[in-house]
Amino acid sequence: MQLSVNNGPTSTLDLLREGQEAVLERLDVPADTARRLMELGFVPGHTVSAARSAPGGDPRVFRVDGSEVALRLETARHLQVRLTE
């Protein structure tokens, strides 16, 4: 399922460095996964910031909609973001 806000240049969530913020642009995941992610706050147009990682780097914690959510890098790789300044 593709849910999109903007077709501008994007990166993926897994590439954010700790402390870096981005606006979620698109979820390129199956519909059931997209629904669950949106319930957790990963809604196109919302700001997401990268927090810490587990030892070994996977999963990573992201701050979104006032919460901290851990995502596997495989999932984060399918979330398109636009970096904020």
pLDDT tens-place string over residues 55-80: 888 899 999 988 999 999 999 999 99
Using DSSP's 3-state secondary structure scheme, residue 58 falls into: coil
Q: Is residue 49 part of a domain?
A: yes
Question: Is pLDDT of 81 > 90?
Answer: yes
The pTM for the full model equals: 0.82
Q: What's the CATH code of the domain at 10?
A: 2.30.30.90
Per DSSP, the chain holds a count of helices (H) and strands (E) of 2, 7
Residue 34 pLDDT: 95
Q: Is residue 51 part of a domain?
A: yes
Q: Is residue 36 part of a domain?
A: yes
Output the CA torsion sign for 18, 75, 36, 42.
positive
Residue-number span of the structural domain to which 13 is assigned: 2-80
pLDDT digits (tens, 9 = 90+) for 23-41: 999 999 999 999 999 999 9
Q: Is residue 85 part of a domain?
A: no
- How would residue 1 be classed by pLDDT, with cut points 50, 70 and 90? very low
Q: Is residue 63 part of a domain?
A: yes
Q: Is residue 8 part of a domain?
A: yes
The number of folded domains in the chain is: 1
